[in-house]
Amino acid sequence: MITISLCMIVKNEEKVLSKCLDSIKDIAEEIIIVDTGSTDNTKKIASFYTDKIFDFKWIDDFSAARNFSFSKASKEYILWLDADDIILKEDRKEFFQLKENLSDDTDVVMMRYNVGFDESGNANESYFRERLVKRSCNFKWADRIHEYIGVSGKIVNSDVCITHVKNRSNNVRNLKIFKKMRSSSRSFSPRNLYYYAKELYFNKQYNHAILYYKRFLQTSEGWIEDYINACSEIAQCYRAKNNRENELMYLMKSFSYDVPRAETCCELGYFFKNANEYDKAIFWFETALSLKKSENTWGTIKHDCYGYIPSIELCVCYYKLGNKEEAIKYNKLAEQFKPSDKMVEYNKKFFGDL
């Protein structure tokens, strides 16, 4: 069985830290907490789980802090979590099996990161992250913000999911770090351009966001999923600016990078539905419904776009065109994806009353 060092960086996480550590304490043989300047009870709470608590002066550099935490690890593999991450009961079972069965020549284990949830608490948005790495590989974190590990070697995808229970927004902090980087002599990598544009978008600075998204699209060294997402996010910026022509143009532009994703097809469906062009909306929602999601992609997957969303929207569109039979058919299909969904139940009652 492999041994694991859990390495975390924290600051003012008293509200969430114990829940995180309770979910991992019997999985990791070693827990390392690096505090970057807490003024609450974070360190006291951490002390109930480990005596390996270290201070690190915050220098607006997440990679520096994470690399410091990794330097304190002593076990075979290193696991990293944020304080607002937890491992659910079913995933704890998977994790124990992983520890038992992982081949000792594995360098990196990817785990799905659940970051979006529906009203029932089911994960509907997720992506893979490099989560467990072999310590002897001496992997390093890169980038001051939206940091990542430059992994290589034997990489395996696991069935373990990490659940993100975000308790606050850090968009202002993130934007501050990017602006500090921009004012220095350090040039932005394509990845920096993309994530800076995202932070501008999150802060509703749409004109500047569009500018940096377009700069990113002019590069050729980025990740294909980021190029596709950038097109979608530019479209969302133009939607906020009520510029439908450019919104449509950038949604369509995403298809120049790879085969269509259901997420983009649903956006196109909404684009035409909102203009009462239901025939066109139906085309895109039906296209979305016909697509299969790639379970092995490391990009973000919005799972409902591959079943529930196009089904429930096709129900609406067909009803708007006066085709009750097709509307009922697609509501039944939506029910297969989400049996207890409120919209499905409303539609069933609505059609029953007609």
Encode pLDDT of 70-81 as tens digits.
999 999 999 999
Domain that holds residue 233: 169-258
List CB contacts of 322: < 8 A, sequence separation 6 or more. none
Same domain, 86 and 181: no
Count the domains in the chain. 3
pLDDT score for 170: 77
Same domain, 19 and 64: yes
Same domain, 238 and 272: no
Same domain, 41 and 149: yes
pTM metric for this prediction: 0.93
The CATH number given to whatever domain includes residue 97 is 3.90.550.10
Same domain, 158 and 43: yes
Phi-psi region of 60 (alpha: psi -120 to 50; beta: other; left: phi over 0): left
Of the residues 235, 258, 281, which one is the last residue of a structural domain? 258
Same domain, 51 and 200: no
> What span, in angstroms and rounded, lies between the C-alpha atoms of 315 and 351?
11
Same domain, 129 and 181: no
pLDDT score for 119: 87
The CATH number given to whatever domain includes residue 350 is 1.25.40.10
Same domain, 20 and 114: yes
Q: How confident is the model at residue 28 (pLDDT cuts 50, 70, 90)?
A: very high
Same domain, 226 and 322: no
**Sign of the alpha-carbon torsion through 311, 312, 314, 318:** positive
> What span, in angstroms and rounded, lies between the C-alpha atoms of 305 and 11?
35
Of the residues 119, 136, 164, which one is the last residue of a structural domain? 164
Angle (deg, nearest 10), helices 308-320 and 278-290: 160
Same domain, 173 and 82: no
- Span 179-196, mean pLDDT? 89
Res. 167: pLDDT tops 80: no
For the segment 294-331, what is each residue's pLDDT rounded down to a tens digit? 877 889 999 999 999 999 999 999 999 999 999 999 99
pLDDT score for 168: 64
Of the residues 104, 131, 164, which one is the last residue of a structural domain? 164
Q: How confident is the model at residue 207 (pLDDT cuts 50, 70, 90)?
A: very high
